[in-house]
Amino acid sequence: MEDKQNPLEVALSKQIRVELAEREWSQDFLAEKVGITKATLSRYLKGHRSMPLPTLYEIAKAFGMSLREIMTKAEDRISLEDRWF
């Protein structure tokens, strides 16, 4: 049986990468701002671990965004066939 990643987690990873690129930030820089290791951030972005909500909140805050804003941008990335409704 194939282990398919949650579409929202995939979209959040993509959105975080976009935000990093727009700011020309490295994963090292973001991880330091958030208080986690680069290895942990990498595991979240690769889908090897689910990101805890408090960590996502800190990432959004580091980007100067609200949790709602980053979630909305991520949700907009989910294709219609992957939506739950």
Domain boundaries, the chain: 7-78
pTM here is: 0.87
Note the CATH number of domain 7-78: 1.10.260.40
pLDDT digits (tens, 9 = 90+) for 15-31: 999 999 999 999 999 99
- Give 40's contacts (C-beta < 8 A, 6+ positions apart): 31, 49
Structure tokens at 53: 């909500």
Q: What is the dihedral of CA 76, 81, 84, 85, to 10 degrees?
A: 90
Q: DSSP letter for 82, please.
A: G
Would you say how long the chain is, in residues? 85
Structure tokens at 46: 């690769």
pLDDT digits (tens, 9 = 90+) for 33-75: 999 999 999 999 999 999 999 999 999 999 999 999 999 999 8
